[in-house]
């Protein structure tokens, strides 16, 4: 199973915000990618401005290059989009944004919509924000499921959220939302920041781990493999041991150097994953 992980590594437009989407897809095809996680952000796919026709055009743009959009990831951390917001109007608008994102995901041909828990105010009881997040996730997941779309919940770093941060947080949230259409994203940097291992995620969540963000950190960040200090070999071995067969996105952004010329950086990360897979195969 390890030998084919590199074939399931997704490209993305996370590091291409200063390039056209055509350039991004051209590069991904040239690097033999077949799957894409699409970041829903300007200038490529801003949810508030993207029409159904625009989304279908993006789908065609990808398909013309042999690419399939497997996950749609609307921007939801830096924007005024917060499904756990204390203000009812703000929270309702955030839920509406995700309803629209679900519609667009269908037009894009995406298999999954990526969600986060939002965040509560630091000066309020965590439980209050948790309840709001649970209610919002339940509503969004039900809406997406009615369209035939699955969702995945990504635990964030503590600086990004005070709600779903750990694997245990994710397991609790999934149990309370209680929808088979909701899975979890294992982000290697967020897991490391929370003190969770790959095995911890699978112990808590099992086959509800349905998407992976495979990135390096020092110890945090969204770094190319080799620019941080995370143990890629151990991570890939653990994913293999757990029988993970889903997609894994190289989620490169947060470092301005990458945005200037992202293709060589992505190629370097793909080479690193391929090298680890080859070593694992030789050991077998």
> How confident is the model at residue 254, as a pLDDT?
59
Confidence of residue 277 (pLDDT cuts 50, 70, 90): confident
Share above pLDDT 70 across residues of the chain, in percent, rounded to a whole number: 96
Query: Cα separations (Å) of 224 from 89, 108, 180?
Result: 39, 27, 33
Mean pLDDT across 244-270: 91
Report the distance separating Cα 224 and Cα 106, nearest Å: 30
Check if the beta carbon of residue 29 is closer than 8 Å to that of residue 21: no
pLDDT at 1: 40
Cα torsion at 211, 235, 170, 48 (round to 10°)? -40
On whether the CB atoms of residues 237 and 225 are closer than 8 A, the answer is: no
The per-residue pLDDT for 280 is 54
Domain containing residue 256: 2-283
Q: What is the pTM of this model?
A: 0.95
Q: How many domains does the chain have?
A: 1
Please give the structure tokens belonging to residue 191: 């897991």
**Cα dist from 127 to 116, 161, 167, 190, 254, whole Å:** 17, 13, 18, 22, 30
Contacts of 132 (CB under 8 A, 6+ apart): 83, 84, 85, 86, 91, 118, 120
98-144 residue pLDDT tens? 999 999 999 999 999 999 999 999 999 999 999 999 999 999 999 99
- 192-215 average pLDDT score: 98
- What integer is the mean pLDDT of 201-223? 96
State the pLDDT confidence band at 247, using cuts at 50, 70 and 90.
Answer: very high
Beta bridge partners of 249: 10, 213
Question: pLDDT band at residue 84, thresholds of 50, 70 and 90?
Answer: very high
**From CA 95, how far away is CA 84, in angstroms rounded?**
10
pLDDT band of residue 3 (cuts 50, 70, 90) is very low
- Report phi then psi at 35, rounded to 5: -125, 150
Mean pLDDT over 237-266 rounds to 91
Q: Is the dihedral of CA 230, 200, 161, 151 positive or negative?
A: positive
CATH of the domain at 234: 3.20.20.150
Rounded to 10 degrees, the C-alpha dihedral 51/57/59/62 comes to -140
pLDDT, tens digit (0-9, with 9 covering 90-100), for 153-180: 999 999 999 999 999 999 999 999 999 9
The mean per-residue pLDDT over the stretch 186-203 comes to 98
Under 8 Å CB-to-CB from 283, ≥6 apart: which residues?
Answer: none
pLDDT over 90 percentage in the chain: 90
């Amino acid at each position: 199973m390890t030998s084919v992980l590199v074939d399931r590594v997704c490209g993305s437009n996370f590091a291409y915000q200063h390039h056209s989407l055509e350039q991004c897809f051209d590069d991904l095809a040239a690097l033999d990618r077949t799957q894409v996680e699409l970041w829903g952000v300007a200038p490529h796919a801003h949810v508030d401005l993207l029409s159904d026709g625009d989304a279908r055009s993006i789908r065609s743009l990808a398909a013309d290059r042999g690419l399939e959009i497997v996950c749609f990831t609307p921007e939801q951390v830096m924007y005024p989009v917060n499904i756990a917001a204390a203000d009812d109007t703000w929270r309702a608008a955030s839920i509406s944004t995700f309803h629209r994102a679900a519609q667009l995901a269908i037009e894009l041909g995406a298999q999954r919509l990526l969600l986060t828990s939002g965040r509560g105010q630091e000066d309020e009881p965590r439980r209050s924000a948790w309840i709001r997040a649970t209610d919002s996730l339940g509503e969004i997941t039900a809406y997406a499921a009615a369209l035939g779309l699955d969702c995945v919940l990504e635990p964030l770093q503590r600086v990004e959220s005070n709600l779903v941060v750990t694997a245990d947080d994710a397991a609790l949230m999934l149990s309370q939302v209680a929808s088979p259409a909701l899975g979890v994203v294992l982000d290697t940097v967020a897991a490391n920041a929370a003190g969770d291992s790959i095995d911890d995620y699978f112990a808590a969540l099992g086959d509800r781990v349905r998407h992976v963000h495979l990135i390096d950190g020092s110890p945090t960040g969204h770094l190319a493999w080799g620019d941080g200090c995370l143990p890629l070999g151990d991570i890939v071995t653990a994913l293999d041991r757990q029988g993970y067969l889903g997609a894994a996105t190289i989620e490169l952004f947060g470092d301005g150097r990458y945005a200037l010329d992202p293709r060589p950086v992505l190629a370097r990360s793909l080479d690193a994953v391929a090298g680890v897979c080859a070593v694992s195969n030789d050991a077998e």
